[in-house]
Amino acid sequence: SQTIHQWPATLVQPVGSPLSLECTVEGTSNPNLYWYRQAAGRGLQLLFYSVGIGQISSEVPQNLSASRPQDRQFILSSKKLLLSDSGFYLCACVGAHNYGYTFGSGTRLTVV
Amino acid sequence: GNSVTQMEGPVTLSEEAFLTINCTYTATGYPSLFWYVQYPGEGLQLLLKATKADDKGSNKGFEATYRKETTSFHLEKGSVQVSDSAVYFCALIPTGYSSASKIIFGSGTRLSIRP
């Protein structure tokens, strides 16, 4: 079964600083990968998804970007963080023959 | 379009009470349905799933039945414990599932269990 590693677990960054969150997947190849954000007390918002290396689709316009440099690596970035970027960021994947998503343990980002 | 509607929380119950969290969906054809659970400070974990009408998913004492006629997938547990306190998300993947399908989540229901 697939496993997602996500780091760091928590992060406090000042406004205007850059961001890089990393997610790696084990136990499957050629997965679809997703970045979600969960604002405090709210549901899940899909930010980006990727069906292959270098292929990124953005769901909502925002201050963030994503990249997939390797098959099982997905990176969420920002050049300059905003206060509104604070939230809980979750990476998820779907393997080739698996119903449902597998989620990472999340990164809690606080922009101050 | 496809959507999932969950009962709003928070839901607060006493230990050993009966739990129901309502979930209804809008989708064409036969979507696959899921319940995910998020414990405090953690990511989401798949709790149970059902992939066709009348299927019953079950896990850890929780159950949900895929009701095509009422487009519902209500989550139930006969006797809740303090350790069940978490946020519960209902979700669907539209008909014609493939690895490219995007899961659609409800807004989540926060459950708190009093000792």
Listed residue (B18, B21, B25, B31) closest to B87, CA to CA: B21
- Chain B residues with CB under 8 Å of A6 CB are 43
The 10s digit of each residue's pLDDT in B29-86 is 788 899 999 998 888 899 999 988 999 999 999 999 999 999 999 999 999 999 999 9
Binned at pLDDT 50, 70 and 90, residue A80 comes out as very high
Provide the residue count of chain B: 115
Measured between alpha carbons, how far is B73 from A5 in angstroms, rounded to an integer? 30
**d(C-alpha A59, C-alpha A48), whole Å:** 6
Closest partner residue to B43 among A90, A97, A100, by Cβ? Answer: A90
Q: What is the mean pLDDT of residues B15-37?
A: 93
Average of per-residue pLDDT across A46-60: 90
CA torsion sign for A38, B94, B35, B59 is: negative
Backbone angles phi, psi at A84, to 5 degrees: -70, -5
Is the bond preceding residue B10 a cis peptide, omega within 30 degrees?
A: yes
| Residue B62 near residue B69, CB atoms below 8 Å | no
CA distance B35 to chain A (A): 10
Instruction: Give per-residue pLDDT as tens, A32-48.
Output: 899 999 877 677 888 99
Q: Please tell me the distance from the alpha carbon of residue A2 to that of residue B25, in angstroms, as a whole number.
A: 28
Q: What residue ranges in chain A does DSSP mark as E strands?
A: 3-7, 10-13, 19-26, 32-38, 44-52, 55-58, 65-70, 73-78, 87-94, 102-103, 107-111
- Closest partner CB to A46 (pick from B32, B99, B102): B102
Nearest to A89 by CA among A36, A48, A44: A36
Residue with tokens 């101050």: A112
| CB contact set of B19 (below 8 Å; sequence gap of 6+) | B11, B13, B75, B76, B77, B80, B84, B111
Query: Which residues 23-42 of B are in CB contact (within 8 Å) with A?
Result: 32, 34, 36, 41-42
Kindly give the pairing relationship between strand A73-78 and strand A87-94.
Answer: unpaired
Mean pLDDT of A57-80: 92
Whether pLDDT at A107 is above 80? yes
Instruction: With CB atoms and an 8 Å threshold, state whether A95 touches B99.
Output: yes
Q: What would the two tokens of residue B72 be?
A: 């519902």
Distance between CA atoms of residues B76 and B79, nearest Å: 9
Q: Is the peptide bond before A8 cis (omega within 30 degrees of 0)?
A: yes
* Whether A99 and B42 lie within 8 Å, measured CB to CB: no
In the predicted structure, residue B97 carries a pLDDT above the cut 60: no
- Mean pLDDT, chain A, rounded, equals 89
Q: Which residue has the tokens 């850890």?
A: B60
